[in-house]
């Protein structure tokens, strides 16, 4: 059997109402040479039946049924073991691709010395079945790697700019790097597993990243089920992710630049956790307790050097430092920030302000 150019892996759990839309968006692509590996993670709804029907009508679709539920990481690892393509993509069952996405990704990854292609994406927020906002993000040009800047410092710098290096679903990978170094998703971790996989991949790259300044992926955010998952409310999970970044940076000699970039990243993640707490269904008392936990753990995080990261970012660090030490005020300020971020009128303004902060 001829091997396809691209293997697409989708973990599927209780997604009977969404998986068809993702599959149809893949089938609508102008690039036809792919195999789709859908790993049914012991769903309790009709996901298995829906995917089986899709597979009957398209030989490129392969349904794999897990004997027990293991989570997205286990399902993706199963998909990696069955992937035959030269390139690999990991997509989510409840999202969609733009019509020209696959062809654009393939064109990018096939350029000389490219080991990874990364696109922008569209975030669509829904509540009660109604779309609240739709914002294109991560489309701006990122800075090039400095002449004297190491690869790992460069990756650390990019991680502090926006979210495009964190997820797996806006990327296309070289399968030979994954297979040669036996890269898999960490099992038993239910937060930030995408980042941990990506850090392992970045560590084994010898080529460059090709950034695609187009929104090729549609990420659907259902606010009815909470903006953030329960795992994102556990601050220890973010600390575990931060330790993974420290491990990634362990071969890099200590320097003021490294220290400042790590501090800026930590403050970014403090803000993300504040957003998660603010948007959660926790009681007011529980929110205060969670915010005090941040202050206990990271209340002494040093500020970055403004010469290295810019004075505007240091001002943000100081604001966040003040907020985590004044949790009642933090609930109000971060709550307002989150409402602006997801509103139909101001979501674009919020994204624009974030881009200006990082320029």
Task: Give one DSSP letter per residue of 93-161, joined into a string.
Answer: TT-EE-TTHHHHHHHHHTSTTEEEEEEEEEEEEEETTEEEEEEEES-SPPPPPPTT--HHHHHHHHHTT
Length of the chain: 359
Residues 8-17: tens digit of each pLDDT: 999 999 999 9
What pLDDT score was predicted for residue 225?
52
Return the higher-pLDDT residue of 264 and 274: 264
In this predicted structure, the answer to whether residue 7 has a pLDDT above a threshold of 80 is yes
- pLDDT above 90 covers a percentage of the chain that reads 69
What pLDDT score was predicted for residue 125?
80
In this predicted structure, the answer to whether residue 317 has a pLDDT above a threshold of 80 is yes
| Mean pLDDT value of segment 192-219 | 96
In this predicted structure, the answer to whether residue 5 has a pLDDT above a threshold of 90 is yes
Distance CA 335, CA 316 (A): 16
| Mean pLDDT value of segment 105-117 | 98
What pLDDT score was predicted for residue 226?
46
Average per-residue pLDDT for the chain: 90
In this predicted structure, the answer to whether residue 314 has a pLDDT above a threshold of 70 is yes
In this predicted structure, the answer to whether residue 262 has a pLDDT above a threshold of 70 is yes
Lowest-confidence range among 3-12, 222-231, 232-241, 292-301? Answer: 222-231
What pLDDT score was predicted for residue 126?
78
- pLDDT band per the 50, 70, 90 thresholds, residue 227: very low
What pLDDT score was predicted for residue 114?
98
Positive or negative, the Cα torsion across 239, 245, 249, 251?
Answer: positive
Please count the other Cβ atoms lying within 10 Å of the Cβ belonging to residue 149.
Answer: 14
- pLDDT above 70 covers a percentage of the chain that reads 92
Query: The pTM is what?
Result: 0.91
Q: Are 212 and 120 in contact (CB under 8 A)?
A: yes
In this predicted structure, the answer to whether residue 348 has a pLDDT above a threshold of 70 is no
Lowest-confidence range among 257-271, 274-288, 290-304? Answer: 274-288
| Mean pLDDT value of segment 249-257 | 96
In this predicted structure, the answer to whether residue 43 has a pLDDT above a threshold of 80 is yes
């Amino acid at each position: 059997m001829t091997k396809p150019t691209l293997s697409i892996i989708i973990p599927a759990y209780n997604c009977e109402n969404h998986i068809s839309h993702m599959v149809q968006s893949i089938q609508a692509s102008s690039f036809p040479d792919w195999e789709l590996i859908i790993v049914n993670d012991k769903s309790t709804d009709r996901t298995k039946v829906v995917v089986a029907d899709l597979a009957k009508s398209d030989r490129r679709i392969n349904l794999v049924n897990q004997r027990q539920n293991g989570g997205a990481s286990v399902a993706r690892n199963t998909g990696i073991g069955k992937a035959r393509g030269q390139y690999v993509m990991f997509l989510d069952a409840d999202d969609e691709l733009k019509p020209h996405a696959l062809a654009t990704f393939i064109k990018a990854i096939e350029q000389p010395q490219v080991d990874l292609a990364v696109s922008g994406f569209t975030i669509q927020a829904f509540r009660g079945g109604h779309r609240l906002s739709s914002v294109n993000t991560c489309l701006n040009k990122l800075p090039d790697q400095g002449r004297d800047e190491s690869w790992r410092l460069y990756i650390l710098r990019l991680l502090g700019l926006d979210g495009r290096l964190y997820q797996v679903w806006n990327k296309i990978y070289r399968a030979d790097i994954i297979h040669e170094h036996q890269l898999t998703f960490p099992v038993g971790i239910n937060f930030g597993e995408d980042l941990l996989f990506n850090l392992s991949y970045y560590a084994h790259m010898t080529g460059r990243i090709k950034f695609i300044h187009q929104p090729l992926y549609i990420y659907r955010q259902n606010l009815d089920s909470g903006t953030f998952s329960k795992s994102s409310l556990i601050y220890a999970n973010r600390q575990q992710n931060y330790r993974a970044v420290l491990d990634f940076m362990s071969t890099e000699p200590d320097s003021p630049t490294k220290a400042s970039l790590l501090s800026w990243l930590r403050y970014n993640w403090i803000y993300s956790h504040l957003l998660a707490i603010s948007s959660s269904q926790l009681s007011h008392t529980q929110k205060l307790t969670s915010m005090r936990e941040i202050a206990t753990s990271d209340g002494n995080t040093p500020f970055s050097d403004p010469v290295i990261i810019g004075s505007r970012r240091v001002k943000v660090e100081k604001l966040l430092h003040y907020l985590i030490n004044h949790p009642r005020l933090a609930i109000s300020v971060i709550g307002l920030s989150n409402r602006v971020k997801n509103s139909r009128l101001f979501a674009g303004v919020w994204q624009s302000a974030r881009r200006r902060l990082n320029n």
